[in-house]
Amino acid sequence: MRIELRREKAPAAASGEKPASAPSQHNPPPFRGSLMIADRGNDRILVVNAKKEILWRFPLKAHPAPPGGFYFPDDAFFIHGGHGIISNEEQNERIVQLAYPSGKLLWSYGHPGVTGSEPGYLHEPDDAYLWRDGTISVADAQNCRVLLISHAKKVLREFGSPSACAHEPPKLPGSPNGDTPLPDGNLLVSEVNGSYIDEITRGGKLVWTYHPSSGPGMLDHPSLAERLPGGLIAVNDDYRHRLAIIDPKTRKVVWQYGHTDEPGRTHDYLNTPDGFDLLAPDGVTPTHPYTG
């Protein structure tokens, strides 16, 4: 089946509107390539460019949802040099790998809509990554554990336990919601309970743990932040319904997709976006080049 990438032009701004976040002819674009957004509240994935043209969306009639539906995509990352996508459907209790751009289901782990802690089951999976060696890591949040899973769907390593949820890393992480792969092969684990961040090795050794401070800010539940090529910072501002790109020198938003504090589904609107990823024109994923 032939799939074409569609470009949907951004509509003209309404009278009085000043879309200052859009790139102008006098400024370089904030990113080059394709920006994927996990639009969680709309149960979809979007891929857009710096002009805010929609290049791809999932699911659609041309590339429908897999059996069990496609619900609550909490994160999405490009894999296989931009020829695939891995996404964790947090409240559909499943991880999926999709071909890009066909949307064909390549692999899955978990049972749609069914929670559990036995092999093959998940409970609110968060931040699923594909490592270069084929291992999939995921923060199985409500089971209070981080899993390393093989392509054959065998659990290779389990950090934590569904029977206990406490800050004793790596033995017991407190409701982990992140498991970011690091260049040296370690994992950066974030714990919701107590707001801890831990670095652990894949062999199960704690490198360090940190308890971050809190304070007022303009963001509301920013779930993911990454430095883009060139130094700008992209961040999911979940509860303000936007994907924002910030210049750290001026601390100003220089580009955003979505309307601040206005959830929606039409062009340039999002609803609780919870994940993003950048695919460069050469097929490289610059924010996580050491993953699969």
- DSSP track, 83-149: TEEEEEEGGGTEEEEEETTT--EEEEEEBTTBB--STT-BSSEEEEEEBTTS-EEEEEGGGTEEEEE
Beta bridge partners of 98: 85, 105
Query: What residue segments make up the domains of the chain, in order of their start?
Result: 34-279
List pLDDT tens digits, range 50-86: 999 999 999 999 999 999 999 999 999 999 999 999 9
List pLDDT tens digits, range 130-145: 999 999 999 999 999 9
- pLDDT tens for the chain, 292 residues: list them: 333 334 444 444 333 334 444 444 457 899 999 999 999 999 999 999 999 999 999 999 999 999 999 999 999 999 999 999 999 999 999 999 999 999 999 999 999 999 999 999 999 999 999 999 999 999 999 999 999 999 999 999 999 999 889 899 988 998 898 898 888 999 988 888 877 888 999 999 999 888 775 433 356 656 688 889 999 989 888 889 999 999 989 888 999 999 999 999 999 999 999 999 999 999 999 998 889 8
* pTM of the shown model: 0.87
How confident is the model at residue 237, as a pLDDT?
Answer: 87
How confident is the model at residue 11, as a pLDDT?
Answer: 40
Q: 34-279 falls under which CATH superfamily?
A: TolB, C-terminal domain (2.120.10.30)
